Structure 1
C-alpha cells in the first residue's frame, strides 16, 4: 500500500493499555539528530500520554544506530525495565554501508531482546533520503517514535501476562 499523504501513526483502532507503573528505557542515536530528536519527542510524549511517569523513563544516548544494540544491552542490565525502545535513523548513501548497518542493527536488536527475554522495540528508520525520514519523524506520515512507544506499552503488557 502506498504511504503517499497517509499518516501511518493512526492508533484509533487500538485500545492501548496504561503505561502507569511500567518502566522503560529509550536508547536513541545521536547521529541524524534532527530526525532522532523528533523520534525521541514522539516516543517520550507517547509514553507520557498513556500514563507513564517521567521517573520511569530512562534515556540513553548512543553515538549512532549501530550502537543501539550495545545501548539496549546496557539498559537491560536494569532487571526492573519492562521494555526498551530503540530510536535511530540510517539514510541510504552511495555505498553498501547502509545495507550492512541496517542488517546488523535489526538483527542485533532482536538478539538483545531474546537474550534478556524482554521487549526491545525497533524504532529505527531506514530511508532513502532525509525527506522520507522527516516525513516519518513527526511529518506527514506520523511519528515512528510514538509508534515505538505504543508498541513498547503493548509488548510490556504481553510480557507481564506470560
Structure 2
C-alpha cells in the first residue's frame, strides 16, 4: 500500500528469480485508460528490467475492470503462461457500483489464481479520485504496475 512512507515502486530484492524463460500475460482494462496505460507501462518495464524477454510478455485488453477476471482466466488456462497480471482502475463514484465492481474483481482474480494454481495478480487501483489514481500510476506514490510485476516475479519464486 502506498503511504507517505512507502512508494508502490519500492520493493525488496529478496526472492527475485531468473525470469528470462518465464511467460507473462498482462490483462489491461480499457476503462480509465490514462491510468491503466501508465500501470501497463510500469508493469512491462519492470518485467523487462528484471529479465523477462519482450516476446514472453503478452498483452490483452478488456473493456473494464469487471472483465479482468475472465480475461485473466483465459490467459491463466494457457499452460505456457507462468503468471498473469491484471491491471485496472475503479474510481469511487456517487453510487454503490464501485463497491460491487471492486468486490467482484478482487474475488474473481483470487478465484482464477486458485483455480489454475498460478500467480494471477490484482493490480487494480481503487482510489476515491482521479488524482489519487494518477498519484499511484507513476505519480508521487509510485506505480502499482511496478508493484504488480514484482509481485508476479516473487510469487514465481515461492
Provide the TM-score with structure 2 as the length reference.
Answer: 0.94
Q: Deviations over 1:14-37 (max 9, x none)?
A: 232232111110001000000000
Contact 1:65 1:88 (8 Å CA) reproduced: yes
In the alignment, structure 2 segments of 5+ residues that lack a partner are none
In the aligned structure 2, how far is the partner of 1:2 from the partner of 1:56? 29
Give the Å deviation of 1:80: 1.2
Give the Å deviation of 1:5: 7.1
In the aligned structure 2, how far is the partner of 1:70 from the partner of 1:38? 22
Provide the TM-score with structure 1 as the length reference.
Answer: 0.92
Q: Deviations over 1:64-83 (max 9, x none)?
A: 00000010111123111111
1:54 paired residue number: 54
Q: Deviations over 1:133-159 (max 9, x none)?
A: 00000000000101100110111122x
In the alignment, structure 1 segments of 5+ residues that lack a partner are none
Contact 1:137 1:143 (8 Å CA) reproduced: yes
1:88 paired residue number: 88
In the aligned structure 1, how far is the partner of 2:18 from the partner of 2:136? 25
In the aligned structure 2, how far is the partner of 1:17 from the partner of 1:141? 26
2:135 paired residue number: 135
After TM superposition, where is structure 1 displaced by more than 3 Å over at least 4 residues in a row? none
Contact 1:5 1:141 (8 Å CA) reproduced: no
- Going from structure 1 to structure 2, the CA distance change for 1:8 and 1:59 (only over 3 Å counts) comes to closer
Partner-residue secondary structure (3-state), 1:127 = coil
Task: Say which is worse superposed, 73-82 or 51-60, in terms of deviation.
Answer: 73-82
2:97 paired residue number: 97
RMSD value, Cα: 1.5
Count of aligned pairs between the two proteins? 157
1:63 to 2:54 alignment:
no
Task: Say which is worse superposed, 16-25 or 114-123, in terms of deviation.
Answer: 16-25
